[in-house]
Chains A and B, each alone.
Chain A
Amino acid sequence: MPEAIKRRGDYEARVTHNRQLGKLCYRLGLEFSGDAARLFATFQPGQFVQLEVTSLALPPADKIPAHLQDQAWRHVMLRRPFSLCSVSATPTTTTIDIIYYLFGPATLRMITLEPGHRLRVLGPLGNSFAMPENKQTALLVAGGVGAPPIQHLATELAARDAVSQIVLFAGSKTIDDLAIERQDTPQGVSLPDLEAPNIAVHIATDDGSAGHHGFVTDCLVEWLQEHGEGPTADLVLYGCGPEPMLRVLAAIASRNKIDCQVSLERYMGCGMELCQSCVVEIRTPQQTETIYKLCCLAGPVFDAREVVFEEAH
């Protein structure tokens, strides 16, 4: 009998690919073997990893984009949290895929990773999206770099046949920023990773470069209107993206009485409950007071009704 798998650990991964999906967007593949392969094969949609980035070098000066010229020179010390867009396992290895934006000094260093490079990865961390029970339709809303765990969830829901219909709304500022692998065809944008008979995809961009011109939450509202008088108890809503988007999502869910889970992001020092920095303000059932829960331990996925969303700064 194999030994019990550890809950989480810090393992070395081998980079399998690190390719550019858009001007600011990259997809990184990390392969594990041995015990780590067994552990990471258990990864559930919504869980995350912490990547060690201190050991990575800066890219050559001519590869540093203009918007990071200033920040590039900052040192990085803390690990960086990433959720996954996919997990695939063979009998001996597990590969996880991460989609990241070229956002600051750490992700800038990550673009230097090449196949064969080694990287330390801590995980699996956090909770996961709860699988729907007795629901017909799962509505998934992804905003910006919040797309990867939503992609992971969509493919997992489809594979498990957990609902009869999955409707995924993906939004970004512009189509080039979409944090999902895409193919531009004369007929429009297609998302090969999400091609499944029971997944329908709607795209929205702030600048109208593809799909609906406007917020992704507009598409959701429209879908709900078209859905009409159908019972909302059959629906379940999942979201990951910028907090203002999640706040709107929570309001839509509340108005329509739809169960809703959101995956949140906070500044995280460690991701393993040591630093106590990533608190989320949570309403208690009595609603008389709020408490703090750690995003890395109690989250990152929360019931939208519980969350006191942060005001935009």
Chain B
Amino acid sequence: MMTETSVQVDFAGLRLKNPVMTASGTSGYSDELGDFMDVNALGGFVTKSISIRPRRGNPTPRVVETDAGMLNTIGLANVGLDRFVAEKIPTLEAMAEAGVAIFVNIAGTTIEDYVAVTERLARERAIAGFELNISCPNVKKGGISFGTDPVQVEEITSAVKEVTHGKVLIVKLTPTVTDIRVTAQAAVEGGADALSLVNTFTAMVIDIETRRPLLADRTGGLSGPAIKPIAVYLVNRVYNGVTKGTDVPILGMGGIRTASDAIEFMMAGASAVAVGTASFVDPACAAAVIEGIRVFCDRQHITDVTELIGSLE
């Protein structure tokens, strides 16, 4: 008798219908992907970064393609908290009712900013949790400057944790550190319910004709397939060194384009995965990854996808 494969996973106390989410900043605020896929099929949705006030972001060029990847320096451009609540929450409510776990990515320049945005959104029923962005490489203040210092990582995590009203707090870490286990540990100490690994890698492309950086902001964050093997390694490093045996799951991301990419992340220790840059190229990519995971499990006679998590030998 055939048994139906279960692709449900537990994620920090939430039951996700499958382990696939969108990565912040690559799939809009709510249902922008809706023209191309059924957004209600997602395990989770992580919004674009929201800051307390609207941000216009950096000048152009803001993106440049590289081999098997791209650099971006958007600078956390967003509509701000008030417009997000007024315009986007209703759509997110419909997605939440369809069983999609909604996470709002929170950005700020001071701890007070992060706390204020979280506190305001913690009242929203549609929202399952938050992803604390302390790893954006493209803003002068806040972002990565918090995320590279373990003392500040712990401080900001515990400050935000106090106002989440029991909703899930994910801390998104930068890979641009010497030992990511140190900042991961600090986030866990601060009360993180989950970790997002990894944000983009700070990088540069030079226009050799003008001898200037191609991006207006000089540097940007590298994403796409180019970073996938490094991201898989870093997930495995944190899994083995920090989260294994604890109840803190990892949301793995970095260059996921196919189901096999996603499965690698899960084997390395991720409980769930996020599709990011690939959505720019194939806006139905996340749906294809969900289906591909199911096909893999069937082929391998795996009845429960959670068997894959941390199964690396």
Q: Give chain A's interface residues, CB within 8 Å of chain B.
A: 6-10, 52, 54, 74-79, 122, 266-270, 272-279, 281, 291-292, 310, 313
Contact = CB atoms under 8 A, between A and B. Distances in A.
A78 B72 CA distance: 13
B70 A77 contact: yes
B60 A272 contact: no
Given A269-B280, A274-B279, 15 more contacts: A10-B283, A266-B60, A267-B61, A267-B63, A268-B63, A272-B35, A276-B48, A276-B74, A276-B77, A277-B63, A277-B72, A292-B56, A292-B77, A313-B210, A313-B212
Nearest to B61: A267
Interface string B60-102: 1111110111101010010000000000000000000000000
A132 B210 CA distance: 41
Contacts of B74: 275-277
Contacts of A274: 26-28, 32-33, 279-280, 283
15 contacts: A77-B69, A77-B225, A78-B70, A266-B60, A269-B72, A272-B32, A273-B28, A273-B32, A274-B32, A274-B280, A275-B63, A275-B74, A277-B60, A277-B72, A278-B60
Interface in B254-280: 277, 279-280
B30 to A, nearest CB: 12
Interface residues of B, number: 36
Q: Is the interface of A mostly helix, strand, loop or mixed?
A: loop
Interface in B26-58: 26-28, 32-33, 35-36, 48, 56-57
B265 to A, nearest CB: 19
Contacts of B27: 274
A259 B85 CA distance: 38
A267 B60 contact: yes
A267 B64 CA distance: 7
B280 A275 contact: yes
Interface in B185-218: 210, 212
B70 A291 contact: no
A276 B220 CA distance: 14
| Residue with the greatest number of chain A CB neighbours at <10 A, chosen from B25, B27, B61, B280 | B280
A269 B26 CA distance: 10
A270 B77 contact: no
Nearest to A271: B280
B65 A279 contact: no
B251 to A, nearest CB: 19
Nearest to A8: B35
A291 to B, nearest CB: 7
